[in-house]
Structure 1
Amino acid sequence: MVTSTWNSFNLADRNGMIKFKKKLQGLKKEIRKWVTDFKSAQSSSTKDLKKKLLDIDKVLDQGGVTDDVLFTRMEIMKQLHNLNFANSIDFIQKAKVRWAIEGDENSKFFHGVINRRRNNLSVKGIMIDGAWVDDPSRVKEEFRSHFEDRYSDPGTRQGSINFTFPNKLTVDQ
């Protein structure tokens, strides 16, 4: 459609930029018309499928269950699912375009929120042996050594339980 529409324009304008602009404007009109027709066809198709599904559900409620009816219902449900999936992909694409156009308006706000949160959650200093230390390199070193000690390999020590259990299982249990 795009190629045939583009090639169908015969403009007598000598200026190449103006000719290009007019071709783009005409193409935009044709694409908008096609999108409108496509969406109306898709909407009517969805309505028809829902009506068919309602009719089949009425037949099923009256006890007319056959393999053909169930297969037809399954096919209609599949077609409805495919139409809904196509609509959801379209909405996702529109959201991405909207974010690309308008997304930068909010970036200053979101960067402010993130920076404020980072400042609030940062460690300003710690107590080491009863003294407050706020030197960043010393704080980092203390954190590193603390977690290194905490998560170091415990070695080959095996734990033992020094507890007598009042209830013991017998061999039969």
Structure 2
Amino acid sequence: MLSRVAFPRCRFLSYSCRLSNKQTNPESVNTELASTQNPLKIRDVPMEYTNVQPEDFKTFEEYFPHSPFNLLGSGKDVKLAAKISAIRDEPDPAVWLDYGGKFDAFCSIARQEVQQARYGKKLQVGDRVSFVLHETESAAHFLGVDHPVSMRLGYGTFLGILKKTS
């Protein structure tokens, strides 16, 4: 299951309307904007879940605009929901997350003691978590090589366990 970040664009549009209004005093607009704008952290951004089934469409052409892959966009710095597919405990704790993309995403995590304190349990395979995807696929092109080399791995920042919804 794939989710995508929803940016509150309407909030910024209302600020731009205030800025374009010539009847207001520019100094009062700046103080009003400074008092109403709160820095938005990635953890505060809500996630929207997709629940689209390919069987609901007659052709792939109809399905593709609604597919999780298309909703992912560029895949850079997008907050997603995923399931843990593998865990490495030593030497540096890390997880591989299945978010529905071409390759799993690799994220570093805290040690077991910190996991227990933060989440009340140790992370397990199958847990639903949230993370920020930075790269969908790590690839490089080396000098003297005809084709780019892929690590078949994405990279992200682990945010935490998702709360169960009914």
Q: What TM-score do you get using the length of structure 1 for normalisation?
A: 0.23
Higher relative contact order by CA 8 Å / sep ≥ 6: 1 or 2? 2
Task: Give the number of the structure whose residues are more often strand, by fraction.
Answer: 2
Larger Cα Rg: Structure 1 or Structure 2?
Answer: 1
Task: Give the number of the structure whose residues are more often helix, by fraction.
Answer: 1
